[in-house]
Every structure is written in C-alpha cells, then in structure tokens.
Amino acid sequence: MNDFASLRVLDRFRKIFLKFDIDYDIMRRILQLKLTMDSRRLPPIFNGSKEKKDGNQFTKSLWVYGLFGLLLLTPFLFLGNNFLFSLTIMFSSMFVILMTSMISDFSAVLLDIRDKNILQPKPISNRTINAAKIMHILIYIFLLTGSFVIIPLIVSIFKFGPLFSLLFLVEIGMISGLTVIFTAFIYLFVLRFFSGEFLKDVINYVQIFLAIGMAVSYQLVGRIFDIVNLDIGYSFAWWHLFLPPLWYAAPFELIFNNNYSLYIILFTILALIIPIIAVLLYVRLMPTFENYLSKLQSDSNRKKKKARRLTSFWSSILCSTKEERAFYKFSSMMLKEERELKLKVYPMLGFAVIFPFIMLFNNLRMSSYEELANGNSFMIIYFSLIFVPSVVLLLEYSNFYKAHWVFYVAPMRSRGLVYSATLKATIINYFLPILIPLSLIFLWIFTFRIWLDLVIVLLVAVILTIVSYWMFIKDPFPFSNEPKQAQESSMIKVFGSMFLVGVMAFIHKIIGIVNLEWLYILVLIISIFIGWKLTFFRSKPSGNMSSEKKK
C-alpha cells in the first residue's frame, strides 16, 4: 500500500492522538487501507470516462473540482467590492457543488459500515475506530475543498489582500464543516423515516445530477458574463436569515465595507453560532446515526404494485408470446433497479433533455420568440436521439453478469425473444419518458403544426434502436458481460450512429419541404415491422458459442 502524503503529515501529530488514548499505529493502518481503496474507486463525476487501473483515481479527479472553482472567479473579477452580492453568489455555488459532490462521492466515506463488520470484532477500541473514521472524513474534505477553492483563494490574495484571504480561508473551513453536517443530517433524516434502499436511491440520483451538472456547467461558463453588468441592489427580508450563503458573505461586508446594518450583524452572528450548534447537535446524534447505518445492510421490500401493473400492461400490448412477456418484465426490472446501469444511462437521458433547450436558447439570442416558433427550429429535437446508440450499447453489461447462464437454460423458441423484449422495455422505460414530454413542450412552443414531425421523430428513435442493436450487440443475451468501458472500435460505431441521426434529420427536412410526411410515416412503420421481424425472429450470427466458452 502507498504511504500517502496525508499520512506523513498526520505523523507529526502522533503525540496528540496518543494523549487521547488512541492507538495511533492501528489508526494509521486503517486510514492507509481506506485511502488505498478510495484511490481505486472511480469518482461518479468521471462516470462514463475510460477507466484506467494505474494511479490514484480520486487524486486525478480533483482537477475537475478545480475547474468548478473557476466559476467562483467571476464574482471576484467583475463584481467589485459589493461583497454581500458577489460572495453570496460564490458561496451559493460552493454550497451546491460541495453538497452534491459530498452526497455523491462522499457517501462512500460517511456511510462506511465496514468498520462495524470487520474491525469491531477485532481487539481494537471504539475510540481508535472512530478516530480513523473522523480523520478519513477530514482528509477527504481537505482535498476536495482545497482543490475547489485554491484558485479563488489565490485571486483573493492579489485582489483584496492577505487579511481578506485569511478570513476567506477561515470561512471556507466553516462552510465545509457545515456542509458535512448538513449532509449527515440528510442521511439521518432519510434513514430515520425511510429504508436503506431509499437512501441508496437518493445517493444514486444525486450522482446522476452531478454528472449532468458537470456537462451543463460548461454551457453556463460562457453565459455567466451576460449578468455581470447589472445594477446591484439589496433589500432585506426575514426569510434571508435562512440562507447560509448570506451569513458568510456578511462578515466581509462588515469588516471591509464598514456596513453596520442590523441585518449584516445578524448574518455575521449566524455565521458564527450555527456551525457551533450544528457540531454539538451532530456529536449528540452521532450514536443514533451509527445505529441507523445498519439499515444499509438490509434491503427492504418496497411497494411496487403500481409499477408492476404498468409493466404487465405494456408487456401484454407489445409482446406476442408468454416467453417474450416474461423477458420484458425481467428486463424492465433490470432497467429500473440496477443502480450502476442507471448511473451510466440517466446522465445520457439528462443530456437528451437539456441539450435541445440549450440549442433553442442559442437561437433565441439571435431571433425573437415569434420567429423561433414559426421557423424550423423544432428539428433540434433530433439532438435528443443522439443518446439512443450509447444506451443500447450499455444493455450488454450488468453487475450481475455471472447469472447470465439462466438465459442458456431457460426454455425459449428463439433467442431473439430476449433482446426483442429488452429493447421494447428500453424504449418504454428510457426513451418514451424523455421523448414524449419533450414533444409536448415542443408542441407548446411551435404549436400543433409540427405534430406529424414529432411522430416521425418517435418512429426514427425506434429505427435507431434496431440499427444500434445490429451495430453493437455481439452477445446473444443482454446483461451478460462484466461492466467495462466500450472499446475504441465501439466508440467509433457510436459516433457513426450519431452521424446516422444527422442523416435521418436531413431526410426529415427534405420530406417536410416536399410535404410527404404521411408517406414517410408509412415507410417508417413498415420498415420497423420488417426490421424487427428480420432482426429478432430469425437467427442472428452472434458467435454465442465462443462467448459461452470464454465465460
């Protein structure tokens, strides 16, 4: 195991730990093991990137948080000395990004229950185990927050002086601690009233939100400069007392702008006393929190009768045989329940929703709303289809891939039934929940005149699903391979299928010019029917025997 720099720094405080009856050598070894495991875990913010075995993955991810920190430069550089406004913006960004980062990646640290399972039966004191856990949290927070604020901190030294940067550094520490405690309180609340499964779902969705936010932030960087020339004014309201970013901006306004307004003093007092109260409350509730963590070890039976009825409804409509209906229900369950699959797919679905609107907003900057609504900008909805090939590619992989032998012993007339049912479940569970709301919004923007065009887009999505299956899928059954990143040849195919989306959009545009939408819809429906039959109800060369031997 590596001798981490953080551990070498900790060695300088060995005597302090010994004074508190903490076995420092044992604590250090526990920390070394935890940090080693952290270094091998790919952070959720890098979800979808190519995985590499060498190097510390967590340390390599810190540069991304440094890029997020660049967003905090805007208030410093362009908003002058109105600290209540500029620093409120900065601390708001900090709270949001730190909170989402901690809930997504920090959950592996704060919710670590391996101590109870592995260490407590050993002759190790609870004091030593708790000290290792606390130091693990502090090391994590120091690295995460440090990479996030290093650029704003350097800028503050040159722009406002060392006293400003010193106060800034102190408040960063207070904000980090408060964020950790808020995160713990969120976990405590969820575990108090809900099951451990629900908490896992919360963490999963925050990870998804973080992955989407990373991509959207690149768009926001270029647009944030549109707001810096606004006239700034502030009017106090009582509910502002519940906004932590205002608390931490107030001391700067008080000290450097000599603003002694009552609300500034109130904000400053809150900035000082709330973290102290939060720490005391956290210490008091920590035993309760540790007890609730045991819920994470048990899966509760969640009520899903409504979801099952809906799945049965769609299977009865879309599937012609009992075997296909059974595989449809199985695939729907996998698509809804497997967290690793959702962690890869849901960000793509988020991009599919967000990207068309980003393009629409770009068009609005160059034209009026009336011109937009009466034009052909509705074709932008084709950008939402770019995710289809990537989602189909991921259907090959599952954390439960070792159970794929069930497919080989299951009685079925045709192996194509399995993927036929899986792709139908994918369309219903992943594609339609994105495309139908998007279509309704586009109908509202562009009026009912485009309804035929939206029908064409939905049919094209099904065509792309079939084509993507032919291009990517080699194994005869879904969920049969160990999760891994797509090979470069597969990525070339993904980009090729994206080009196909552009071709389909171009054909659609030509069809619209010659007013042959109804004929095109008929051609697409016939193509889907024939293509589906030829693809899934005759033997497809797949090399399944060789893949079976490999496994």
Return the higher-pLDDT residue of 469 and 222.
469
Return the higher-pLDDT residue of 293 and 248.
248
Per-residue confidence at 106, pLDDT binned at 50, 70, 90? low
Using the predicted structure, report yes or no on whether residue 279 has a pLDDT greater than 80: yes
When mean pLDDT is compared across 43-57, 338-352, 515-529, 533-547, the lowest value belongs to 43-57
Q: pLDDT value at position 451?
A: 92
99-110 mean pLDDT: 65
Q: From 225, 263, 542, select the one nearest 415 (Cα to Cα).
A: 542
Which helix (H) or strand (E) segment holds residue 404: the answer is none
Per-residue confidence at 523, pLDDT binned at 50, 70, 90? very high
512-530 mean pLDDT: 93
DSSP 21-46: T--HHHHHHHHHHHHHHHHHSPPGGG
Q: From 135, 136, 2, select the one nearest 56 (Cα to Cα).
A: 2
Per-residue confidence at 529, pLDDT binned at 50, 70, 90? very high
Q: pLDDT value at position 442?
A: 93
Per-residue confidence at 111, pLDDT binned at 50, 70, 90? low
Integer CA distances (angstroms), 180 to 71, 225, 299, in order = 22, 31, 26
DSSP SS3 for 481 = strand
Using the predicted structure, report yes or no on whether residue 221 has a pLDDT greater than 50: no
Distance in angstroms (rounded) separating the CA atoms of residues 365 and 379: 18
Q: pLDDT value at position 159?
A: 84
Return the higher-pLDDT residue of 133 and 431.
431
Residue type, 425: A
Distance in angstroms (rounded) separating the CA atoms of residues 157 and 131: 34
Q: Output Rg (C-alpha) for the chain, integer angstroms.
A: 27
Per-residue confidence at 487, pLDDT binned at 50, 70, 90? very low
Using the predicted structure, report yes or no on whether residue 436 has a pLDDT greater than 70: yes
Q: pLDDT value at position 130?
A: 80
Task: Give the tens place of pLDDT for each residue, 209-219.
Answer: 765 665 565 55
Mean pLDDT, the chain, as a whole number? 78
DSSP 166-220: HHHHHHHHHHHHHHHHHHHHHHHHHHHHS-HHHHHHHHHHHHHHHHHHHHHHHHH
485-496 mean pLDDT: 53
Please state, for a pLDDT cut of 70, what percent of the chain lies above it: 76
Task: Give the tens place of pLDDT for each residue, 31-54.
Answer: 888 888 777 665 554 444 444 545
Integer CA distances (angstroms), 64 to 105, 168, 179, 195, in order = 13, 22, 19, 33
CA angle 119, 122, 127 (to 5 degrees): 65
Distance in angstroms (rounded) separating the CA atoms of residues 375 and 362: 14
Let me know: does 457 contact 399? Beta carbons within 8 Å: no
Distance in angstroms (rounded) separating the CA atoms of residues 438 and 353: 7
Rounded to the nearest 10 degrees, what angle do helices 57-70 and 83-101 cross at?
A: 160
Distance in angstroms (rounded) separating the CA atoms of residues 520 and 70: 49
481 - beta bridge partners?
397
Q: pLDDT value at position 212?
A: 65
CA angle 324, 328, 333 (to 5 degrees): 150
- Domain coordinates of the chain in residue numbers? 5-228+241-297, 305-550
